[in-house]
Amino acid sequence: MFDAARSRPIVMIVVGALAFIPYLVLGGDTLAAGIYWDVVIAIVLAIAAVHVWKLNHDRVAWALIIGGQIAFLVGDVVWLVLEHIVRSDAYPNLGDAAYLSGYVLLASGVFKLVPRGRRLGDVGVFVDGVIVAVAATILLWVFVIGPTALEGDATLAARLVSTAYPAGDLLLIALGAQVAMRMRWTIPGILLVVGMCTMLAGDLWHAHLATTDGYTAGHPVDALWFASYILVAAAVLHPQAVPSFTRPESESSLTLARIAFLATISILAPVALGARVAVDSAVSVLVIGTVVLFLLVVMRLAIVANQLQTSRSQLEHDATHDPLTGLGNRALYSERVRQAILASATTPARTAVLCIDLDDFKTVNDSLGHAAGDRMLQEIGDRLRAVVRRVDSVARLGGDEFAVLVHDEPADAALEVADRLLAEIAKPVHLGANLVAQPTASIGIAYGAPGESVESLLRDADVAMYIAKNAGKGRWEVYRPGMRQQVVDRFELRSDLSNALDRSELFLHYQPIVEVESGRVSGIEALVRWQHPVKGRIEPNRFIGLAEETGLIVPIGRWILREACLQAQRLDPSADGPHVAVNVSAVQLRTPELILDVTDALTVSGLAPQRLLLELTESAMIDDYELAATRLTEIRALGVRIALDDFGAGYTSLRQLQSFPVDVVKLDQSFINNTMANDVGVLNGLIALATSLGLETVGEGIEENEQLSLLRDANCRFAQGYLFSRPVPSEELVAALAQAGHAAGGN
């Protein structure tokens, strides 16, 4: 795409080169050539001055630089008038005053562009610049200042002015060296430095001409001065003229290129001395030996510098990359996101951040060990690196959280990348012999806007990832306004839940379980509820997941066990009274404290063990079949019975069902609802299967008499649902039990 702003310096240089041709055609030393020179340069500097006025930063520095150029132009005009109109060859004159003031203005502007600091790296850069300045001083003194200012029969004023010119050059060399050592090598910075160098080359050439054949207008040296005007003006016209000279500390290191440059500068003086005294063999041997020794020392320093550079490069890599996966870390990723956001201000490309979190990764670490978890993270890292495009960036932010930066013009590019990532991550991961994991991930996507902070963008992607995880995992979500508030509300709810038990905000409701044939109430299921002091009644589906995430389900489950057992004992203290069913989560099942909690609840309440029924879902057991089977066997040894909840909707095979110490299966409600409109044969088969294994069956979610009739015809022994009673508090339980028996058709 054509960028008019960035092409301005090129246009200036090309037009400037073409504009120099008429000057040569006019003869150079003629009045017409002189007028042409001054008019062209005046136009160039006027254009540069207009652009300086538009700058938002470092305007004063660039104004001084262009002001110095204008002072040089004034000197050119004065020289033209004196030579062609006044016919005077007076030296020094007013033109010299203008020229010398130009050096001061130019040096002042360059000085303001030089960044200053007190770090060790800044001191080293300053010394590098001083080395260049000292070497230049020696050469100028020997070859320019000495011959022009200290020799001959010129007047004192002429000698002072002749000395002032190379002194001005020295000042510019010293400052230019500081700029060159510190600058970030951008186009405007290069143009300014090259422009200064052409001017200095022209000055030195002119000084040499003054000691030999003299100078006349139209000499090739004029091309250097003309180029200086054009290049400095072109630097101002570039859209990135500000800032051009800030550089990170890492770029001021002693590299091989810098050592070679400084060595060359430092050796110029003794080489020049040797050239002048080459007729003296003894001195020549001394100079040559000095140069050889100097080069050997420089070579040794270069080796050390190379070793240091290699070590630092390794340290920088370690500081910006994850040691386990080799991907970029959070610091490097944040910097790349920042650069992409800045670039989006000038390009149509959109910046998208993808936050990737592996689902249930903690289970891998807990059940298979951290070594297996590390292998999985390495495999996932390799997959991410292979799937994304070359222009995208991948990072591991920590733990099982990864991130991808997509910077592209199509709005749906990030969505396509997310789909490929989900598909690749979901492939099996082989963690050892006969050990295969099936990972999934949740991805949050957030689009950045110019001016947005990196932290805000990453936070939005993180929020979208949590929304995706809470919506079922193994999917992606794009951040939308309002999502952040959802996460904040969830966080507040999570925080309030930690105090809910202590503040007695949790309580139990009970729902009767009836025998289908007789209508007798055989048991009750304890269901936890939460009355929030501000938000009111909060349904279990909103806080049970939070309790499991935080581990609060363990103390909450302990309290539920004790309260439910106490209520069952109060309802009927006999050993064969109605049982009480209590739900147990996968988190509780993994903790060894569950057995102690069950024992404590039975001991405190005095409830007979056979009257306690622990309900678990299939998902709670498939996390780790071996652990679940062991834990349930220990609990069943206490006399407590085990129920498998939502049977028919999960993945339990017949062999697995036989291996678990299960006493009761509760048929999934949705499955029973489907049979109302479909073949009841499957329902009959499930009930027959459970009965053949010696298991009792409970139909859940019974709301209509037709459903109860289906269960009765299929020989399902127990039923539970709104047809009999909704969950009620303990003080309404007796009445609810009577209503349930009546609804079931019992006595």
Specify if 485 maps to a domain: no
**How many percent of the chain have pLDDT more than 90?**
20
Q: Which one of 100-109, 657-666, 695-704 scores highest in mean pLDDT?
A: 695-704
Mean pLDDT of 582-611: 92
Q: Identify whether residues 470 and 498 lie together within a single domain.
A: no
Q: Which one of 86-95, 407-416, 508-517, 675-684 scores highest in mean pLDDT?
A: 508-517
Mean pLDDT of 306-325: 79
Specify if 43 maps to a domain: yes
Specify if 47 maps to a domain: yes
User: Could you report the per-residue pLDDT of 128-160, keeping only the tens digit for each?
Assistant: 666 666 766 666 666 666 565 555 566 767 777
Specify if 325 maps to a domain: no
Mean pLDDT of 697-719: 89
pLDDT at 345 > cutoff 90 = no
Q: Identify whether residues 289 and 362 lie together within a single domain.
A: no
pLDDT at 495 > cutoff 60 = yes
Q: Return the CATH number at 409.
A: 3.30.70.270
Instruction: Say whether pTM exceeds 0.85.
Output: no
Question: For position 507, what pLDDT does the model report?
Answer: 93
Q: Identify whether residues 383 and 440 lie together within a single domain.
A: yes
Q: Identify whether residues 14 and 141 lie together within a single domain.
A: yes
- Asked which of 155-169, 398-412, 415-429, 469-483 is least confident by mean pLDDT, the reply is 155-169
| Exposed / middle / buried, residue 628 (Cβ in 10 Å: 0-12, 13-18, 19+) | buried
Boundary residue ending a domain (248, 269, 290):
248
Which residue type is seen at 302?
Answer: A
Domain interval for residue 291? 253-320
Strand-strand pairing, 718-719 and 506-515: antiparallel
Q: Identify whether residues 587 and 732 lie together within a single domain.
A: yes
C-alpha distances in angstroms, 508 versus 345, 692, 730?
57, 35, 7
Q: What is the DSSP letter of 405?
A: E
Q: Identify whether residues 244 and 257 lie together within a single domain.
A: no
Specify if 563 maps to a domain: yes
Specify if 717 maps to a domain: yes
Question: For position 183, what pLDDT does the model report?
Answer: 60
Mean pLDDT of 328-351: 82
Mean pLDDT of 352-376: 85
Mean pLDDT of 163-184: 69
Q: Identify whether residues 131 and 28 lie together within a single domain.
A: yes
Side-chain-side CA neighbours of residue 367 (13 Å)? 19
pLDDT at 243 > cutoff 50 = no
Q: Kindly indicate the confidence band of residue 432, based on its pLDDT and cuts at 50, 70 and 90.
A: confident
Q: Identify whether residues 15 and 114 lie together within a single domain.
A: yes
Boundary residue ending a domain (221, 248, 275):
248
Specify if 288 maps to a domain: yes
Q: Identify whether residues 354 and 301 lie together within a single domain.
A: no
Boundary residue ending a domain (213, 248, 283):
248
CA–CA separation, 538 and 249 (whole Å): 56
583 vs 296: which has the higher pLDDT? 583
Mean pLDDT of 570-595: 91
Question: For position 592, what pLDDT does the model report?
Answer: 85
Q: Identify whether residues 316 and 192 lie together within a single domain.
A: no
CA–CA separation, 228 and 202 (whole Å): 9
403 vs 204: which has the higher pLDDT? 403
CA–CA separation, 69 and 63 (whole Å): 10
Q: Tell me the three state secondary structure of residue 580.
A: strand
CA–CA separation, 683 and 686 (whole Å): 5
Q: Tell me the three state secondary structure of residue 358.
A: strand
pLDDT at 346 > cutoff 50 = yes
Question: For position 1, what pLDDT does the model report?
Answer: 45
Q: Return the CATH number at 710.
A: 3.20.20.450
Mean pLDDT of 527-550: 88
Specify if 553 maps to a domain: yes
Q: Kindly indicate the confidence band of residue 121, based on its pLDDT and cuts at 50, 70 and 90.
A: very low
Q: Identify whether residues 626 and 526 lie together within a single domain.
A: yes
Mean pLDDT of 275-298: 56
Q: Identify whether residues 571 and 719 lie together within a single domain.
A: yes
User: Could you report the per-residue pLDDT of 629-668, keeping only the tens digit for each?
Assistant: 888 889 999 999 999 887 765 545 455 566 678 899 888 7
- Asked which of 63-67, 138-142, 292-296, 719-723 is least confident by mean pLDDT, the reply is 292-296
CA–CA separation, 747 and 739 (whole Å): 11
C-alpha distances in angstroms, 418 versus 75, 97, 273, 620?
66, 69, 69, 29
Are the C-beta atoms of residues 200 and 147 closer than 8 Å to each other?
Answer: no
Q: Which one of 72-76, 131-135, 261-265, 353-357 scores highest in mean pLDDT?
A: 353-357
How many separate domains does the chain show?
4
Question: For position 500, what pLDDT does the model report?
Answer: 87
Q: What is the mean pLDDT of the chain?
A: 80
Which residue type is seen at 101?
Answer: S
255 vs 742: which has the higher pLDDT? 742
Question: For position 244, what pLDDT does the model report?
Answer: 45
